[in-house]
Structure 1
Amino acid sequence: MTRLSDSLIDPAAPAEANVQKLLTIAEALIRRSEHHEGEARSAWGLFQRAAELEDLVRKRTADLETTLRLLNAANAQAGKARRDLSQAIEAVDEGFALFDEDGLLVLCNSRFCRDLDDVRAVLRPGTTFDDYVGRISRSAHLALPLGMAPEDWVAERMRHHEDGAPFFVELTGDRWLQVSEQPTDEGGVVVLQTDVTGIIRAERSERGKLLDQQARIIRATLDHINQGVAIFGPDLRLVGANRRLGLLLNLPDQRLSAGRSFAALSAALLRQVRFSDGFSAGELWSWVRQKTLRPPLSFELQHLSGIILDVFAQEMPERGFVMSFTDVTRERMAIHSMLRANARLEERVAARTNDLSVALRDAERANATRVRFVAAASHDLLQPLSAAKLFVAAARDDAGASGSTLEKAHNALLSVEAILGALLDISRLESGGTEVDIGPVSLAHLLVQLTDEFQHMAEKKGLRLDILPCRATVMSDATYLRRILQNLISNALRYTVSGRVLVGARRIPGGVRVEVHDTGPGIAPEDQQKIFREFHRVQGTASAAEGMGLGLAIVDRACALLDHPLTLRSTPGLGTMFAVDLPLAPAALMRARPGDGPDPGAEAAADRIALLVENDEDLRRAISLLLERRGVSVLEAETGEAALALLEEIGIVPDVYLIDHQLGEGMTGVETALALKERFGARPVRIVTANRSPEVRRAAERAGLEVLHKPIDPEAIAAFALHAAEA
């Protein structure tokens, strides 16, 4: 239950104010009682009212006394707390001050601003924070930084007040205070001042000792390095130099004493040195006096004593700079010696290169002569060889008892032909001038030709030869591809004693792989690289003495020339497999080329007439004899002009033309074929030649003609004459 006195007494007010308040209330009540109209008329009522008032006053007085006792106890406790707080603040070793939320000083201890007695003397409770800061800025004991005015210090101090970070204040007499501030919950701030003079002096002493030690280390280092070093301050005066500098520049120690100006040193130095590489003293002075950041500088000096110095200058903090001088005399002399040696070496290399060039030209001339000789000799040999082979072939048909002898002679001629052909291929591949004609080649036609060519050879050895058909068209050179497969099949048949040789094509991504398998003796791993060398034959086999060992060398070089990967897999005793990877021809090019196979509508005819144009009489007679024995009538002519005249005279157009390309001084074979076509119409034509040059091949291709190379295969000549399709 709330008492009336509780609402009449303010516990926070002084006791005298509460008593006075109660007395005023009592007096008002008495006056009201005395003036009450109803009770004024009755004396008894007045007496009774006075008694009630007296009781009421007595109660109120008792309540007031109780309240006063409580107030006195509370004031006593608050005073004790205030005294305890003051004593606690005073016991703090640091200067302490409390400012309220209005920036007014509430209290501070005796250590606050103790070293600033002119400020301490005017600090009172109620002093504003701004006034406190302003008085410190004007204190005689504050050591203002150089060039800073009191108002600048105040602005700096207020920035620290806003961010709350601790900071240091320097006082006169090398004294230091650390000032930190801590906000209160009510919005005031507590300022702490800590004397850190001892700490800073100790730190400075340690730093000085460390710097002295570092200076001694640096001095010892500079005195022991092999470079001369000079350090200049921002005033362009020498701060320090090592002894090596005096030795390199031949300057006495007094010239290198601290404080010597750069101008004096440079003047003394320029009397003994000169600049190299186009550098000048003016450029050096321009660098030294540069107001902006100096870039590193490097140049060389040549001393009168003969030494060469490499100088490097670089700016240091606070606009000073350091210069180092390195003796590079030996290096420069070594470089000059190397340059002279290089010059002499280049002269010797040039002379040797010239000698080698002469030798290379001689070797190239000798090689060209050899190549031309081989080509010329092959051509000259192929002419009589073709004639001899054709004569033997013709004689073999009527041989009778001497048939075996003629067969041996025929085989010998075939061997000579193969050797000459291989030598010619190797010569052409080695010459480096070989040209290839990459185009679509039908594997179907090529594999049929190879079957006809090698079936007889396989049967004679008792071997089974299977050449599987393939309808793919690949991109290659028809002549070289035929030569590659001929050599691989011939090699397989030669070295296989019994069993089988299988030739087949299988698809691979983007192309076709033609594989030649045999059941021969196989090739040992150590010999699998050697077999591609010229004149190398596998030893220990029944056929090691056959051939000249050029077939696989030709295959390897031709595959490299055509960029057809060549693969070899072989197991001794089980057989060997060679494979050639060929790219497929684009669909737009997959069409038959001129001469890609016989016309299926053509049939053998015993009454065929062939025109033979050949300037070599023996070869012409041999071909005629061969064809006539096969039932073909032959019209002979020595030159193209004679052939045209002959046909004009007899009025007969032959069924096929066999024309040698080199016919002497008149028309060539290609020109003769074109003239015959223009005058008598198109007929099947073969250009017969021992010249395997790219020019002849291109001329025949432009005319749409096929070429038969000498030495001539009798079966090929006969097959053409008997089965060639009408154009």
Structure 2
Amino acid sequence: MIDPNDPLDVQVEKQTKIIDALIRRTGRQHDVGHSAYAAFQSAIALQGQVWAKTLDLERASNELELVRYDRERTQKNLTDALSAMEGGFALFNDGTLQVCNDLFRTLLPDITELILPGLAMADYFLAMEKSTHLVGADAKLHVNLAEAQTGPSGASLLSFVVALSDDRWFQISQQRTSLDNVIILQTEITDVVRQNRSEKDHLIDMQAHYLQAAFDNMSSGICTFSRAGMVMMHNDRFRELLGLPFTLMHQGTQFTQILGFIQNNGLLVDSDITDIDRWPYRLRTEGQLRKRLRHGGGRVLDLQAHLLPDRGFLVDIKDVTLESRATEMLEKRVDERTSELTEANVRLTAQSEAQARVEEELRIAKEAAEAAVSSKTRFLAAASHDLLQPVNAAKLLISTLVDMSRTTAMAPTVDRLDGSFSSIESLLHALLDISRLESTESALSVTEVCLGSLMQGIIEDHAPVAAKKGVRLDVVPCSLWVKSDQRYLMRSVQNLVVNAIQYTENGRVLVGCRRKGANVVLQVWDTGMGISHKDQKRIFDEFTRADNVPPGSGMGLGLSIVDRTCRHLGHTVSVRSKPGVGSVFSIEMEMVPGRAPMPVSHSTAQASFDNDMNLIVLVVENDPYVLFATTQKLETWGASVLAAKSTEEALTLVRDIGMAPDIILADYQLDGDDTGVQAIRLVREETGSHVPAIVITADRGPALVQIGARNDFTVLTKPVQLSRLRPLIDWKTREQAEV
């Protein structure tokens, strides 16, 4: 009659009903029989049954009490566990609050009284949105709070970050359980946010150190002054050449104070500084100043000052003592030889010997000059690698930081950091390009260049920037070939395209080519602010910009590099412009006759990289900062990274995983005699597989490209352009998979 599987309270209820029925039965004597003995016998039997059922009832009541005690103890243990949690915790059942800990209730003090069992989850997030302790409530946070009111769909996890008024940061996470309950966790991430903020400030400081290091390694004396005429940055060479004391050269020193010290202490010959008081005025009105000075210590100095775009100025001092002495010596020799020619024939032999000595001295001087130029070229190659290594690491780290902070309140600050670093990178490339062009013309390597692929690559690199600004960027397909240096021609066209996008607020930028007899003219059209006729004659000078350009729009070096490069290559640069209408910059080059046209694609399929990069990537890089930054960036793309500092370490990692990586990214210059080319070759031999590979280097010469063609790897120059690296990895790995 009683099912032992029923709950205890149901069993007790059934037993009570049975006992009541038995008692009623004893009261009805006619059911027992007509005899007294039968009635007595029936009563005794019924009484035994009543006792048995009463014992069952008491036992069931005791078990029910034990169950209630266990439930209360479990509830107390759950409450203690929630109180011991470091973050806030709450459990919602059917959209209403069941249980939570104290931190969850007190996170926002002005809504603590509302957080009670039975509170609807939608009402909780509405109250959170209106809390005065919540700061930085942007549109993204409102969207997250609105989504959180209904909870995550299915088994997905909903997570977002909120900022509190006392500079505390919490991550709010929602997770739906298997019983369709919703758990809300509040995890404090204040330390992580503050650490990221500190690392960002440290990174900005490091960029200033890198720029100062570049100044310190220059042979010239460099000093920059603010618009108010105060020292901003200088190198020790500037102070040494002028003989200035340490106490005078520091940030905040006025330019007039330096001129006064020079004048009062007689550091320069008086005849050279008769108009020293007018130097600041001439610099402001003429935009530049150039002086040949004689130092009291016997040195001859060449001083050049240029006005910067922010109305500050840069002073460049070079020691030209040897050049000046050589000139004076040659002039003296000419006078001596002229005097000797008027003498008698008896001195012809002596004159011939003197001439031979002069020629020998000139030969020695020429060899010394050639050695100096060669030394400068080697220095630039080493400096390029040493400067571009930290720039490459910083660029990768900033890109990772941009991805990580995209949905946080730090996103605007990180975007400004990215823009500031891009300006530093552009300035560094400009300075290195100018130095290379000044060092020797042998840096140029004239070959046959296809204009179609060159223009298409530049357009693809700058299309995101143009789209972000709302400028339409187009290219007219071209299959012509020209004679030029591909690297420097690409830099020149890049500078023209960047300027066109920068000075076009809305409208269009168009890149295309026209035939002109045996030549071809590459043109960059824009619908920007235009350039006045008087400014068109001077915009190709260094540190010069048009008058209608707003402050802070660059250093005025891009067009100067274009002009220098084209003069070295024998190209012709020209500009046509009208203020308010737009500009056309043209580069005229010699066309290669008889070269078969290269197929031109009128549309470029854009690859989608929304999915994770499901690849094993072997990275070989001896610089720990670049290695760390590259690893971080690849992992944000979803790749599994094997990070190695040398070829030997790379081989060890490959042996450990027992399989070939999907692709190799290797720096060319490793420690000692180790190179990225050697790493690629040995990994391929170790795995018995032709692994796709990319070599990343600061070496911009053609020799490494030729080695890459022979060994089937691609060469990318530092700093790496992420817009090219990701598509290149996808293309090379997809090509290998298809094989």
Structure number with bigger Rg: 1
TM-score (norm 2): 0.47
